[in-house]
């Protein structure tokens, strides 16, 4: 079987290590792959659209980008169990006096990097649905760390949270799992903050394939990932590094919010044009 070329973005040095381990596992399982690494998601989607790679390990925004470029003819594989049904929380200081979303009017609202689905794009659409727009009702304060990584680098998201705690902004957004982790490790004092609102559920990463990919090869790659068993120590090492306990069948039903956010903000056309 011809090795699939699988793209991954290096948002952290560990990515190359993880994909070396996954490649070894896939080869032993009879579904060989050839990892290809990119510095950001636009370059990865460019390569997928040019069919220079067969599959891309995509953020939700990158999957949407590929979906739009292929006119809906793209294919997809599996995702992690930790990619499904996520939420973003809107957090304020416990003593802020902010009790409702309307209380954000005239305030400074922190967000993550410009291209973060969970910490900026979905939140801005969430506030829009509540009748609040940045151009009119509040000041958006952006923390642009790791632009091009689509929020996989949580530095901006974390910086925004710390700025809120310090009183530099009045409210901020963070992926709920990140926020809970910061409470657990003491990065954020749980007594100093409270959650004001939570977004509806959405999905995160997905393997996106181009429209001409070999179905047998894609199916074999997907199946060997689905066959990983967290109870197997050799598999567990890979799964722990990649942040999951089970690979699950992919779905696109969880991308309604990022799609609506992109349509509201006209984001991808402007963002990609600025990164030619």
* CA angle centred on 171, ends 99 and 160, rounded to 5°: 160
CATH 3.40.190.10 residue ranges in the chain? 4-83+203-254+262-273, 88-198
CATH class held by domain 4-83+203-254+262-273: alpha beta
Helix axes 233-242, 14-28, angle to 10 degrees: 140
Tell me what pLDDT residue 154 has. 86
pLDDT in tens, the chain (276 residues): 689 999 999 999 999 999 999 999 999 999 999 999 999 999 999 999 999 999 999 999 999 999 999 999 999 999 999 999 999 999 999 999 999 999 999 999 999 999 999 999 999 999 999 999 999 999 999 999 999 999 888 889 999 999 999 999 999 999 999 999 999 999 999 999 999 999 999 999 999 999 999 999 999 999 999 999 999 999 999 999 999 999 999 999 999 999 999 999 999 998 888 765
Q: Supply 207's token pair.
A: 């393997």
Instruction: Give the whole-angstrom CA distance, residue 210 versus residue 235.
Output: 27
Assigned CATH for 88-198: 3.40.190.10
């Amino acid at each position: 079987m011809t090795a699939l070329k699988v793209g991954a973005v290096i948002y952290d040095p560990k990515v190359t290590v993880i994909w070396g381990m996954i490649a070894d596992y896939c080869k032993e399982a009879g579904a060989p792959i050839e990892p290809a690494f990119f510095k950001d998601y636009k370059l990865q989607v460019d390569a997928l659209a040019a069919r220079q790679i067969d599959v891309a390990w995509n953020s939700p925004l990158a999957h949407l980008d590929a979906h739009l470029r292929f006119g809906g003819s793209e294919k997809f594989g599996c995702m992690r169990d930790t990619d499904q049904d996520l939420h973003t929380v809107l957090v304020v200081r416990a003593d802020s006096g902010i009790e409702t979303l309307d209380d954000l009017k005239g305030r400074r609202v922190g967000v993550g990097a410009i291209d973060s689905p969970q910490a900026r794009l979905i939140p801005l659409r969430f506030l829009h649905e509540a009748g609040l727009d940045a151009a009119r009702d509040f000041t958006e304060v952006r923390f642009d760390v790791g632009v091009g990584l689509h929020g996989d680098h949580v530095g901006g998201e974390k910086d925004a949270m710390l700025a809120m705690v310090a009183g530099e902004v009045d409210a901020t957004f963070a992926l709920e799992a990140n926020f809970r982790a910061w409470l657990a490790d003491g990065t954020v004092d749980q007594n100093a903050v409270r959650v004001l609102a939570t977004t509806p559920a959405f999905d995160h990463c997905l393997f996106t394939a181009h429209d001409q990919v070999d179905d047998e090869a894609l199916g074999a790659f997907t199946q060997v990932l689905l066959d990983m068993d967290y109870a197997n120590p050799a598999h567990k090492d890979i799964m722990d590094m990649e942040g999951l306990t089970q690979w699950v069948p992919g779905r696109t039903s969880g991308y309604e919010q990022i799609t609506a956010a992109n349509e509201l903000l006209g984001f991808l056309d402007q963002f990609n044009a600025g990164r030619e």
